[in-house]
Amino acid sequence: MASKKNRGGYGAESIQVLEGIEHVRKRPGMYIGGLSREGLHHLVWEILDNSVDEVINGHASTIDVELDADRKGVRITDDGRGIPVDKHPKLKIPAVVAVFTKLGAGGKFDGESYKHSGGLHGVGAAVANALAESLEVRVRRGGQQYTCSFERGLLVDKLRKTGKAKGSGTEIYLRPDPEMFGKLKLDPSVLRERLEAKSYLHKGLKIRFTDASTAKTETFFHAEGISEYLGKLVELRGKPAVHAGHFYLERDADPKLEVAFAWTESSEDAIYSYVNGVPTPDGGTHEQGLRNALGKALRAYMQAHKLEPKGLSITLEDIREGMVALHSVYVLEPQFQSQTKNRLNNPEVTGAVEGVLRPALEQWLHSNRGTADPIVARVIAAARARVASRAASAAVSRKTAGAGRIGLPGKLADCSNRDPRRCELFIVEGDSAGGSAKMGRDRKTQAILPLRGKVLNAEQASLTKVLANEELGNIVKALGCGLGKDFEIARLRYHKIILLMDADSDGHHIATLLLTFFYRYMPELIRGGHLFVAQPPLYRVDVGKETHWVADDAELQRLLGEITRGKPEVQRFKGLGEMMPATLRATTLDPKQRQLISVAIDDELTTDRTISDLMGKDAATRYQFIMERAVDVEQLDV
């Protein structure tokens, strides 16, 4: 029978007690997330953040960072107070040695030495030291300079005075241990990005970065703080802001915070948040406060100005689409999810941030309608695209399960050229007109898609009906670029889409129905300048040997009034199908002679509301529109 000591090979002797540095080297993932590239740079952040904490609390203004030529070591120097060098009353060793060798030793627990700090756990410096091949500390304090050094977390050169010194501060040289990180090297671009971000986050902070491998020194100093940083981030994303202005709020009282954001034309959002100057890529309670304030303030603004779209719910996802935000908050006792500080957990921060930000944002929206209204238009467009995309995905899944790619519609007379920049698609009213257009077109660059009768009103019909509609479905297939959030301009098969309808009220109605569909489901076509309306003639007027093509009744009356000789012969076309192919080509299809109206959006919010009022289910708004403009109409074709 096995003894208790050896039973299963598991006894009291199997329990190891690892203390301090040993535990860090045995389980580094607990402290820096792993021995990866991110973990390597995290050692630098731990040292850097201690210098930044001196800046946050008003004791330093300059930080120097020097990367070795071999990129295996880095030196960080600040002009702060300098780490204390006197003996710790309990540990009986110099305080600076305790900071780098004892987990839990630090000056950020009493709430007096540091009001705000990126690290309150007291383990960062000791962890960096434990995973370093070598670490050297120089402290300038009380007119003296002190030096000590460590190897793999152990003190090898005791603290000693090395001479007189002016001013105060701390200099730390860190060389990560290749036994832990292998051949990984520090990346100057990663260091540069973090240092520049720090200079934006802390107004008045000057950071000098020297990369010895290139002998290049850069200085980061940004007096405007994150307001200036926001402009840089928007520029880097390559998407212009929806409007010229952006929201900015700075508050020094508790909770101390700084917030800036703007909306871009991107389909993605980007929120960069910080707690006490430390990046929190996984967000947390401070980001939740920002989201709550954002949603409530914008909805309140829309409700106050009656901008809420009928039958469409606005989600926070829609509000955030395209937004670039910077959110920096200072918390007295931050509770991070882990030592890597990726996420803030303080529950009280959510309400505190929301309470400050929401009223400020709401007031800003009301005071800047020229900026706020385009934002609302952007949000409404995002909501419609979201709903359309989900419905389209569901419909496509049902229709194409197990099938190959969707082919082109059978009625499409495609062109032979395959360069979308040179190709045009004419969407034509009726098979008869389509037949004339096919015979009159340039087969190389002009494609014809005939429609049967009036298409579905995309504003009134449900999404299921819109996506199941054969005529609208043929348009989507012919264009090839998808719709809603699945829209990809790169897949567009024709860079000119031309609506070719009869020049009468029925033709205008069909064109309006198609414009409604494109605006609701493919607004990028309009924004990109790809959509046009053709101007076919309604009348042919012959005067002797001269022929005039007239677009409407008003132009006809002007022409007849100008004719002084000869008797005009007037022919009214009942439709495009009556035109000979050669006539249609000469008047409407030939790029050298035709007239096209480019479809554009001058004011997205006004356009959205107009389409909703005139094409929606509520007849009262249409009646009001007609009555207000009745005096301007000489003849109404109902």
DSSP 599: P
Q: How far apart are CA 134 and CA 140, in angstroms?
A: 20
Q: How far apart are CA 171 and CA 175, in angstroms?
A: 13
How many CB atoms neighbour CB 15 within 10 A? 7
Task: Map residue 2 onto helix, strand or coil.
Answer: coil
Q: Is 235 tagged catalytic?
A: no
**Nearest 10 degrees: Cα torsion 475, 481, 484, 485:** 170
Nearest to 150 by CA among 111, 124, 168, 176: 176
In whole angstroms, what is the distance from residue 41 CA to residue 32 CA? 9
Question: From the candidates 250, 504, 542, 590, which is the catalytic residue?
Answer: 504
| Strand (E) or helix (H) holding 49 | helix 37-56
Q: What is the DSSP letter of 484?
A: G
Distance CA 144, CA 146 (A): 7
Residue carrying the six token digits 């098969």 = 493
3-state DSSP helix/strand/coil % of the chain, to nearest 5: 40, 20, 40
Q: Residue 140 to residues 83, 88, 147, 220, 592: CA-CA distances in angstroms?
A: 8, 18, 9, 24, 80
With CA atoms as reference, report the closest residue to 294 among 250, 356, 345.
356
Distance CA 438, CA 448 (A): 6
Pairing of strands 206-211, 169-176: unpaired
Rounded Cα distance between 476 and 391, Å, is 14
Q: Which of 502, 524, 604, 608 is catalytic?
A: 502
Identify the residue whose tokens are 């900026």: 371
Selected catalytic residue, list 64, 321, 429, 459 = 429
Q: How far apart are the first and last CA of the chain?
A: 103
For the question of residue 506 being annotated catalytic, the response is yes
Active-site annotation holds for 504: yes
> Which residues fall within 8 angstroms of residue 403, CB to CB, at 6 or more apart?
none
In the numeric block, the tokens 């003996």 are attached to 87
The answer to whether the CB of 526 falls within 8 A of the CB of 604 is no
What's the Rg (C-alpha) of the chain?
A: 35
Closest-CA residue to 570 (of 594, 548, 601, 551): 548
Closest Cα partner for 479 from 454, 514, 503, 511?
Answer: 514
- DSSP lists the bridge partners of residue 427 as 449, 499
- From the list 506, 555, 578, 613, the catalytic residue is 506
Rounded CA-CA distance 133/40 in Å is 12
Q: Is 429 a catalytic residue?
A: yes
- Residues annotated as catalytic are 429, 502, 504, 506
